[in-house]
Copies of this chain bind each other. A is one copy, B any other.
Amino acid sequence: MSKKNVIVGQSGGPTSVINSSLYGVVHEAMQHPDQVDKVYGMVNGIQGFLAGKTVVLSDMTEEELKIMQSTPSSYLGSCRFKLPEDLNDPLYPQLMKALEDMNVGYFFYCGGNDSMDTASKMSRYAAKVDSPIRFIGVPKTIDNDLVGTDHCPGYGSAAKYVATACREISLDAGVYGAKFVSVIEVMGRNAGWLTAASVMARKFEGDNPVLIYLPENPFSVEKFLADVEAAFQKTNNVMAVVSEGVHDSEGKFICEYAASDIAEDSFGHKAMSGTATYLSELVKEKFGCKVRAIEFSLLQRCAAHCSSLTDVTEAAMAGSEGVKAALEGETGIMIGFQRAAGDEYHIDYVRVDVNKVCNEEKPFPAEWIIDNGTNISDEYVKYALPLIQGASPVQYENGLPVYAYLK
């Protein structure tokens, strides 16, 4: 059997552990010198690959790979690029030829829904033209909304960040003892998994966040203000965590209320205002108390100094198991996580048909949203706690995390 090369790309929004999956692919591929020659990386995903941007990753030392592994964001750069729906599009033979020219036998694509769509289309095209190249999806998303897997690499670390930061902010917000409402905005346009993670911030029953709003339920501004008023009966320090994707029963995002409420300024542009800012202003107006709007923004997906070791380890396993599957002849699959039954947390890595994963979204379970849409059940906490365990493996130098970057 002639040796083939591996190529791996990263796509979509980055996470704290997407490079751990990259490490998994590169490290595992290098354990099979009988089957694998070089490992290439696509720079800026399939889009960069089309422009001829690749690097050799198999030249990296294990030490360099280890530092890359704990570096947040996509080491190879990313893209948002959807392949044509029509497999007869001339882009497909172009891509296939480029892969053949590089003697690629194994193709790995790490990302969320859209990236699984790329893996799906490429594997279907390969089948159509009888290409032996194998196409494998490696899951990644802080949104945790991929089907076919118990959870997604990237979610545990982002969840740990959200819970940690909410716990810390709540302590800060309470210092003056006066009425104070902090509104925290968390990523997740359609899926509330990451917002739900804030429930783990609670140190005791009744602790913050006292209000949690997921996009799976319609959001009403009037009800929100009534919820805050009710919360004031129990505490002066009210933290409300809202998904960036909360929207009313008509489907209109709450952040769009802000945009339409605000007139254009003297330069003719509308001021941007996030959901948290908008809601906190309404609270200030109604209750006259101090408010603080905090958007976790990029921090929640790149704070590798706060990543979960479980997440880092599983992300690497997803990459590594992907390589094993490809070398065993699989194609058109994504590595999924299957949680073993019983109280002890254990994950089996399974091979899922990537065609059934792409373009699907797994919403947060409706039965885990309780207390009239303001709270998250203990079942969720039982599900999520194992995912945030273990300290970040980030190395430090001069008091700061050591991170790799593509030179």
Contact = CB atoms under 8 A, between A and B. Distances in A.
Contact of A401 (B164, B169, B396): B164
A80 to B, nearest CB: 7
A165 interface: yes
Interface stretch (A21-29, A68-76, A361-369): A68-76
Interface residues on A, range: 35 or more
A46 to B, nearest CB: 13
A265 B259 CA distance: 10
Contacts of A303: 165, 168
A200 B401 CA distance: 11
Contacts of A272: 273, 277, 281
Interface centre among A167, A168, A294 (most CB of B within 10 A): A168
Contacts of A304: 168
A282 to B, nearest CB: 9
Given A176-B44, A176-B79, A298-B292, A265 B263 contact: yes
Residue from A14, A173, A303 whose CB has the most chain B CB atoms within 10 Å: A303
A239 B236 CA distance: 37
B271 A281 contact: yes
A26 B73 CA distance: 43
Contacts of A281: 269, 271-272
Contacts of A285: 267, 269
Interface in A252-311: 258, 261-267, 269, 271-273, 277, 281, 285, 292, 294-295, 297-299, 301-306, 308
B44 A302 contact: no
Contact of A305 (B80, B168, B177, B182): B168
A121 interface: no
Contact of A265 (B165, B261, B277, B391): B261
Given A77-B175, A271-B281, A302 B168 contact: yes
B403 A399 contact: no
Contacts of A169: 298-299, 302
Contacts of A79: 176
B292 A174 contact: no
A385 B398 CA distance: 7
A200 B396 CA distance: 13
Contact of A399 (B80, B294, B305, B390): B390
B403 A174 contact: no
A72 B168 contact: yes
Contacts of A371: none
A160 interface: yes
A91 B45 CA distance: 68
A126 interface: no
A391 B396 contact: yes
A294 B71 CA distance: 21
A264 to B, nearest CB: 7
Nearest to A299: B165
A400 interface: yes
A20 to B, nearest CB: 14
A144 interface: no
Interface in A137-191: 160, 163-165, 167-169, 171-177, 182
21 contacts: A72-B171, A72-B172, A78-B175, A78-B176, A160-B399, A168-B299, A168-B302, A168-B403, A171-B302, A171-B403, A172-B298, A200-B399, A204-B405, A258-B271, A261-B266, A261-B267, A262-B262, A269-B285, A271-B277, A292-B297, A391-B396
The 9 closest A-B pairs by CB, nearest first: A388-B399, A73-B171, A263-B263, A172-B302, A78-B175, A261-B265, A168-B302, A389-B399, A73-B172
Given A72-B171, A167-B400, 5 more contacts: A77-B177, A167-B401, A261-B267, A292-B297, A292-B298
